[in-house]
Amino acid sequence: MKRVKILCIVIASAISFQSAKAQTVDEIIGKYETAMGGKDKMLSLKTVKMTGNLGVQGIDVGIVVTAAQGIGTRTDISVPGMGEGFQIMSKSKGWNYMPFQGQTAPQEVPADQVKTSQSQLDIQGPLVNYMEKGSQAELLGKEIVDGSETYKIKLTNKEGKVSTYFIDAKSFYRIKSIAKVKAPEGEMDMETSYSDFKKTEDGYIFPFSQTNPRGTIVFSSIEVNKPVDEKIFQVN
């Protein structure tokens, strides 16, 4: 009888080990893709237009983000009583125009910043088809984020830029990311939290709330795969 108990313990341990071992980074990313509507669905995402507001010191700043996969992204910013500005990033150039910060004309983004900002053009998500994009993924274990258990994934792209993603262990939504960004004071980690996930009428799932050190953007509408004039990603 004693031998039977020992055998059962050994078998149970083996099963437990195999179960833990089965949670590879690719399986977790696969579950993330499924949770977001499926890999094919995500790969069919070509354009997106997100309209919302950013609360800054009691002021509702209007935000409109328009992006085309692999082509460009433009963020139009409207500050009540202070004018309208924009940020543009394309494959080769970028521009900033912030009249409410004293700028009188669009300023071109330095070439090194354009290079490190190319991930912004991947609206399908850097985890989708990551190997085909030349990136490497590594599972760093689990971590609690805002009370939720998450899988922590380190992604290194082909340029060597490292980002970290936190995938909720229950919903398999991406609820947090950490990326290196360049700021006036030097390179820093930019943390972004995602919440209020909703499905659009086209069947795509997006977080309608995004929070970073600059504030929280709440999107009121997200339009998918509508025609986008690529001229908006240029400054003449």
Q: What kind of architecture, by CATH, is found in domain 25-233?
A: Clam (2.50)
So what's the pLDDT on residue 198?
95
Q: Can you give the pTM of this predicted structure?
A: 0.84
User: Which has the minimum average pLDDT: 195-199, 212-216, 226-230?
Assistant: 212-216
What confidence tens digit (pLDDT) does each residue in 3-56 have? 444 434 333 433 333 343 447 999 999 999 999 999 999 999 999 999 999 988
**206: Cβ–Cβ under 8 A, 6 or more apart, which residues?**
50, 197, 198, 200, 219, 222
Tokens 């009428």 belong to residue: 201
So what's the pLDDT on residue 14?
36
CA-based nearest residue to 229, from 1, 118, 72, 114: 72
How far apart are the C-alpha atoms of 143 and 17, rounded to whole Å? 20
Q: H/E/C letters for each residue in the chain?
A: CHHHHHHHHHHHHHHHHHHHHHCCHHHHHHHHHHHCCCHHHHHCCCEEEEEEEEEECCEEEEEEEEEECCCEEEEEEEECCCEEEEEEEECCCEEEECHHHCCCCCEECCHHHHHHCHHHHCCCCCCCCCCCCCCEEEEEEEEEECCEEEEEEEEECCCCCEEEEEEECCCCCEEEEEEEEEECCEEEEEEEEEEEEEECCCCCEEEEEEEECCEEEEEEEEEECCCCCHHHHCCC
| 75 confidence band (pLDDT: 50, 70, 90) | very high
What confidence tens digit (pLDDT) does each residue in 150-186 have? 999 999 998 888 999 999 999 999 999 998 776 656 6
How far apart are the C-alpha atoms of 159 and 154, rounded to whole Å? 14
What confidence tens digit (pLDDT) does each residue in 93-122 have? 999 999 988 888 999 999 988 888 888 899
CA-based nearest residue to 71, from 120, 33, 131, 38: 120
Let me know if 89 is exposed, middle or buried by CB neighbors in 10 A (0-12, 13-18, 19+): buried
So what's the pLDDT on residue 115?
85
Q: Please give the structure tokens belonging to residue 40.
A: 């094919």
What mean pLDDT do residues 59-73 have? 95
So what's the pLDDT on residue 5?
45
Using only C-alpha atoms, the chain has a radius of gyration, in whole angstroms, of: 21
What confidence tens digit (pLDDT) does each residue in 13-26 have? 333 333 434 479 99
Strand partners, 143: 150
